[in-house]
């Protein structure tokens, strides 16, 4: 993947996404990349 995706998140949003990523046993960046790219 050559493109860079930059998201501005609040601390609460980041904490929530980190909990979801941990439940999926993925790093946060991998979890977000998978979720954003799988929506298309």
From 19, 37, 39, select the one nearest 28 (Cα to Cα): 19
From 11, 22, 12, 2, select the one nearest 32 (Cα to Cα): 22
User: Tens of pLDDT along 12-21?
Assistant: 999 999 999 9
Q: Residue 5: its pLDDT value, please?
A: 78
Q: Where are the domains of the chain?
A: 1-40
Q: Residue 40: its pLDDT value, please?
A: 59
The answer to whether 16 touches 23, Cβ cutoff 8 Å, is no
User: Tens of pLDDT along 1-40?
Assistant: 688 878 899 999 999 999 999 999 999 999 998 988 887 5
Q: Residue 15: its pLDDT value, please?
A: 97
């Amino acid at each position: 993947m050559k493109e860079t995706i930059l998201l501005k998140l609040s601390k609460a949003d980041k904490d929530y996404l980190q909990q979801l990523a941990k439940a999926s046993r993925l790093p946060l960046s991998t979890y977000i990349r998978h979720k954003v790219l799988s929506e298309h």
